[in-house]
Structure 1
Amino acid sequence: MSDSADDEPTMLGMDLPDAAPQPSSGPYRVLARKYRPQTFAELIGQDAMVRTLGNAIARDRLAHAFLMTGVRGVGKTSTARLIAKALNCIGPDGQGGPTIDPCGVCEPCRAITEGRHIDVIEMDAASNTGVDDVREIIEAVRYAAVSARYKIYIIDEVHMLSRNAFNALLKTLEEPPPHVKFLFATTEVNKVPVTVLSRCQRFDLRRITPDMLFAHFSAILQKEGVEAEAPAIWLIANAAEGSVRDGLSILDQAIAHADLDGGGKVSADQVRAMLGLSDRSSIAQLMATILEGDAGAAIDLARAQYALGIEPVAMVRGLMDLTHAVTLAKVSRHDDPALAEADRERIGEWAKKLGFAPLNRLWQLLLKGHDEVLRANNPLEHLEMLLLRVIYAASMPDPGELAKLLQSGGVPMAMAAMPAPTGGQGDTVSTITAAPPPVEAEVAAPARAEPPASALTVAQIHQLLESTGNHRLAVDVYDHMRIVELEPGSLVFAPVPALDGSFARDLGDALLTATGSRWHVRAGDGKARPSLKDVQDAKGADNDQRIRELPVVKAALAAFPDATLVEGDDTRHKSAP
């Protein structure tokens, strides 16, 4: 038996790893903190602000108060700290002055970066909202900086200060001592009093574009030694909604979510599952069933996605994104790098087939349905009802087509253009595929010649007059006009005393306005048909006679000789004498 220490583990039968794990150099720092910009060169997407500050420093035209505003995570507080470093940097040799490129190695720069500089005071206005908190600032600004060039107050979420606190700060903010600078940051600049805004130099930090976020996240992944698919990075960049901090938080989560069996590579499917986004191919299939009008298949697909854990509101959002993409593709403005080539081709085909009107109706239906599904107690049921509503109502004719229908007596173009598909149970539905012709045809349609006046009936003429507001003419047509001859564009009526000499001219003008075609209207001799009123009176008399022949009515009239027959709607107002 050997006394060697190296042999002892083997003798005990222990399997030790080849190399002991290296101790961690410190607690893990999330990416949003680890990669916080330390220079203006690292601040992405804010070139205009950096240029303005650089010029102000170079020309010694520094304002006494700066206000940074913008959405969350675009770098407002980071910018405030960078300005503090730029104003207090003394350079590596200790002889430097204010600069847009702080060195980062001098004591003021390192102290500000680490948050321990005595002359750079950061205050959270959300927890220091009162006059007493502002009074402390007012008292302290009278004293010069201890070790820095400027005493700087960074107040985050400044809009949370009370009105009295703002008023107490006004005088000091307007005329601060030359050694004091105020740096404000807020996400809700509309809540800051205008009296404060007028005393500050304002910088509106812009949202970061997905392209910039993609490049930024790709560089961070390379530094972290993590592989990721390009579509996965695009998904994270789009989900960040212009916020670097939000995007880095999602990226941190995606790295932790990556499958270790796959080498820790961040894949698009994993990111989509992590974010609760529905699969693009499934959404495309759902959209296809909607366009085909297959209600049963659409509901089956929605239930299958729900069973896989996809939230109904995510499916609606996916349909909205797809509708938006198709609409932009119609004007050649859709360019999503995260899309596969097959998805691009599918969107291009839909853009060619669908018109702007049905796409707009589809968008409006989905937009309204999104809020309903979001607030619903049972989101799946609301999603299914939304899909049925979209399939059955998306291609209803718009008001313009209805107006053409009233004028021409035809079928709306959108309804007649395409066959009606089935809804899965044998019933026919009118779907989004019944779209108007392409844009060129839609533009050219109004210019084509109107067809000759159709062979309208007297009843149709009466309805046209009523719909166009010619009530007096409509009454004359209904009560007194007896047709001798009625052909397309020509109308001959029997002269009666109730129709004056201007009736023919007025009726011709009214028909020209209603139909777009000129009509020749005149009085003439010949065998005339009865008026609409005569026909209605004859029908009423015939109905009255047939009713009187009924055995029950005969018995009632025999029992009550003085009784009379009245219309059903009049029974509430009349009674037999």
Structure 2
Amino acid sequence: MDSHLQRPASYRVLARAYRPARLSALIGQDVLVRTLRNAFASGRVAHAFLLSGIRGIGKTTTARIIARGLNCTGPDGRGGPTPEPCGVCPSCRAIDEDRSLDVIEMDAASQTKKEDVLDLLEGISFVPTSSRYKIYILDEVHMLSEKAWNALLKSVEEPPPHAKFIFATTEIRKVPITVLSRCQRFELRRVDAETLARHLAAICEKEGIEASPDALMLIARAAEGSVRDSLSLLDQAIATSEGPVAADLVQAMLGLGDRLQLLDLFDAVMRGVAAEALDRFQSLYALGAEPVAVVQDLLEIAHWLSRLKVKPDAASSLGLAAQAAERARVMAEGLSLPVLARAWQMLLKGIDEVRTAPDAAAAAEMLLLRLACVSDLPPPGELARILRDGGVLGSAPAAAPAMRPQPTPTRPSLVPTSVGRGSASAVARSPEPPTPPRPAMPAAEPRSFADLVARLRSHGEAPLAAWLFQSAHPIRFEPGRLELRLEPGVPADIVNRLIEALAKLTGRRWMVVLGSATGEPTLAQQAAATKEARLAEVRQDPDLQQILSAFPGAEIVDIRPKSG
């Protein structure tokens, strides 16, 4: 072998190389760190701990830190229990190297029987060999059988002074309440994306790796609060990249779509532009985005926009780049919260369809088409109110024509006719059917909401027109469709009356929707504003000002056209 060829040093994955060894190195667990610090400082350390949380959040790591801290003797060999183990004393080194006889770990996922627990506790009555405490760490403790719990319960309740128990679990609800009541319980929280991204950036700096902030944020969000998962994904991104870790590389690695493109896709769906939505989905699919991941991203966008709708200042906490955050803020302003909630529900239900469909891309496209179809429907709350008030959903059928009395059937008349010489016969002749009346020609379509109200007034619907004039705020008007907001106090049946009146007036069905948007001022408010503007203009006339000065106390209250 050539002398210049060297065997590469063994590589430790980031999740192991940067595993915290003291409480101060834990990230995102402030409550746990503060409580344990106070416990160590006061000497009131519990005899049993229960650590719960999602996978990769740091339960086993925290258990080992507690074990080191309880048995640490300091560099000089005289130290006591501490939340910041030194890492150099014989006890710390033995625990770090997994050779301490006084720290016993058991995987409860594979050793679930009563016999396993009895073997574990066989030497609990004996004092530690070289440490201060004998510490038992049981991982995935919720997997123990009922008999195993019963065998463990007495030792957890009354352990020897030199014994400590630390349990870790991802399923806290499966741990018996009898055990929960005997442990000091800590719930390890998910680490937020911003904290994870900063942690990853610090590790990249130590490793001499260049990574863009957007790429690290994508990794942090994909880890869903798990520190170990984020480090594993960073390891994978570093191995995949031939240079700096960039956002587009992480997107391809995770099967994600570009955030701006996803926002454009969501916007197209919410506007009901089905063709554009399908084109944008195909673009993402061609770039390698998985259909399920696209739907999950759209679900996440619906959540983002809903949060921005409630808290416009929450953009910084969503982990979006500046351009995407601004685009999301604009989109949130143009969508109502009920519409976003409906989109969330449809996407949430559609994820399973896409995941289990034979053709995931086709299922995703059909889901997008369903979302586009309901984009112009009123919010769910408005639909429920319409159904409750009058059963009118969207475009209601026109009023049914009044029942006309049917003509009384008449006996056919017998009309003699000549068949042959000297003979006569009769044939039956039914009466001629009455000629139906010709339907009246429908009037021309109203050009505006004001025109619609004026036509209703002139066609015998003065009370209805008066309600609309005084209390209706038009939101959207187009031929065949009217969306408005009504002020409190209007009759409950006004929507039905309006639909019937429009059907008679125009000869076709209209969609009348009660919306929740602010809409335009009522016609009465518009008329009052116009009148006030005209009065203000007239008051500036020099001749009128001279007349008003000649009559102190006089006011101009109205302007009317000159008759005749």
Q: TM-score, normalised by structure 1?
A: 0.67
Q: Deviations over 1:106-136 (max 9, x none)?
A: 0001111111111111111112111111112
- Distance apart, 1:348 and its partner CA: 2.2
Q: Deviations over 1:296-334 (max 9, x none)?
A: 232233233323322211221222222222222222133
Task: Report Cα offsets for 1:42-85 as digits up to 9, x if no partner.
Answer: 11122222222222222222221111111111111111111111
Choose which of 231, 239, 249 in structure 1 pairs with 2:214.
231
For residue 249 of structure 2, the aligned residue among 264, 270, 286 is 270
- Tell me if the contact between 1:234 and 1:337 (Cα under 8 Å) persists in the aligned partners: no
Q: Secondary structure at the match of 1:309?
A: coil
Check conservation: 2:54, 2:190, Cα contact below 8 A.
yes
- Check the 8 A contact 2:390/2:493 in 1, yes or no: no
Match of 1:564? none
Quick one: which of 177, 181, 187 aligns to 2:164? 181
Aligned-pair CA distance for 1:403: 4.2
| Structure 1 CA distance for aligned equivalents of residues 171 and 186 of structure 2 | 13
Partner residue of 1:207 out of 180, 185, 190: 190
Q: Deviations over 1:554-575 (max 9, x none)?
A: xxxxxxxxxxxxxxxxxxxxxx
Partner in structure 2 of residue 527 of structure 1: none
The answer to whether the 8 A contact 1:358-1:395 is kept is no
Give the C-alpha shift of residue 337 in structure 1. Answer: 6.4
How many angstroms apart in 1 are the aligned matches of 2:152 and 2:106? Answer: 14
Structure 1 residue 381 displacement after superposition: 1.7
Q: Does 1:345 align with 2:326?
A: yes
Aligned partners of 2:103, 2:392: CA distance in 1, in Å?
78
Number of the residue aligned with 2:374: 393
Distance of aligned partners of 1:21 and 1:324 in 2 relative to their CA distance in 1, 3 Å threshold = farther
Which residue identity lines up with residue 384 of structure 1 in the other structure?
E
The residue number in structure 2 matching 1:72 is 55
1:298 aligns with 2:277: yes
Q: Does 1:251 align with 2:234?
A: yes
Aligned-residue offset at 1:27: 1.3
Asked whether the 8 Å contact 1:254–1:274 carries over to 2, the reply is yes
In 2, the alpha carbon distance for the partners of 1:337 and 1:403 equals 34
Name which of 315, 323, 327 aligns with 2:302.
Answer: 323
* Deviating more after overlay: 199-208 vs 46-55: 46-55
Output the CA distance in 1 between the equivalents of 2:495 and 2:250: 62
What's the CA shift string for 1:233-282, capped at 9, x where partnerless? 11111111111000000010011111x2xxx2000000011000012232
Distance 2:272 2:235 in 1: 42
1:362 aligns with 2:403: no
Report if aligned partners of 2:315, 2:325 keep a CA contact under 8 Å in 1. no
Structure 1 outlier segments of 4+, above 6 Å: 408-416, 451-455
Q: CA–CA distance in 1 between the matches of 2:193 and 2:339? A: 29
1:143 aligns with 2:184: no
Task: Name the counterpart of 1:84.
Answer: 67
AA aligned opposite 1:129? T
Q: Is the 8 A contact 2:269 2:375 kept in 1?
A: no
> How is 1:52-131 mapped onto 2 (pairs within 5 angstroms)?
52-131=35-114
CA–CA distance in structure 2, aligned partners of residues 454 and 32 of structure 1? 63
Q: What letter matches 1:282 in structure 2?
A: Q
Distance in 2, matches of 1:399 and 1:337, equals 28
Quote how far apart the aligned CAs of 1:284 are. Answer: 2.5
**5+ residue gaps in structure 1?**
1-15, 421-427, 461-577
Shift in CA distance, 337/401, structure 1 to aligned 2, threshold 3 Å:
closer
Measured at CA, do residues 250 and 407 of structure 1 come closer, stay the same or move farther in structure 2, by a change above 3 Å? same
Deviation at 1:411, TM superposition (A): 6.7
The question of whether the paired residues in 2 share the 8 Å contact of 1:396 and 1:415 is answered with no
The alpha carbon displacement at 1:174 in A equals 1.1
Q: Is the 8 A contact 2:392 2:496 kept in 1?
A: no
Q: Is the 8 A contact 1:214 1:237 kept in 2?
A: yes
Secondary structure of 1:335's match? Answer: helix
**Equivalent residues of 1:118, 1:146 under 8 A apart:** yes
8 Å CA contact 2:68–2:92 kept in 1: the answer is yes
Q: Which residue of 2 aligns with 1:46?
A: 29
Aligned partners of 1:131 and 1:168 also within 8 Å: yes
Q: Could you tell me how far 1:369 is from its partner in structure 2?
A: 1.4
Aligned to 2:359: 378
SS of equivalent residue, structure 2 residue 32? helix
Letter of the 2:341 counterpart: N
Instruction: Give the Cα separation in 2 of the matches to 1:155 and 1:21.
Output: 45
Is 2:488 aligned against 1:447?
yes
What is the CA distance between 1:292 and its match in structure 2? 3.3
Amino acid at match of 1:447: P
Contact 1:395 1:414 in 2 (8 A): no
Aligned to 1:417: 476
Equivalent pair of 1:89/1:99 in contact (CA under 8 Å): yes
AA partner of residue 119 (structure 1)? D
What secondary structure sits across from 2:315 in the alignment? Answer: coil
1:267 is matched by which residue type in structure 2? A
Determine helix, strand or coil for the equivalent of 2:166: strand
Q: 1:402 to 1:87 in 2, by over 3 A?
A: closer
Name the CA shift for 1:91/1:310 in 2 (closer, same or farther; >3 Å).
same
* Cα contact 2:136–2:165 (8 A) shared by 1: yes
Deviation of 1:410 (Å):
11
Name the counterpart of 1:491: none
Quick check: 1:91–1:102 contact (8 Å CA) kept in 2? Answer: yes
Q: 1:85 to 1:300 in 2, by over 3 A?
A: same
Q: Report what 1:493 is aligned to.
A: none
Amino acid at match of 1:279: D
The secondary structure found in structure 2 opposite 1:360 is helix
Q: Which runs of 5+ in 2 are unaligned?
A: 396-471, 502-564
1:488 aligns with none
Q: Structure 1: which amino acid aligns with 2:488?
A: A
SS at match of 1:53: helix
Structure 1 residue aligned with 2:401: none
- How far apart are the structure 2 equivalents of 1:30 and 1:455? 69
Amino acid at match of 2:63: A
- In 2: Cα distance, 1:48 partner to 1:380 partner: 44
Change (3 A) 1:94 1:449: same
Tell me, yes or no, if the aligned pair for 2:270 and 2:375 is still in contact at 8 Å: no
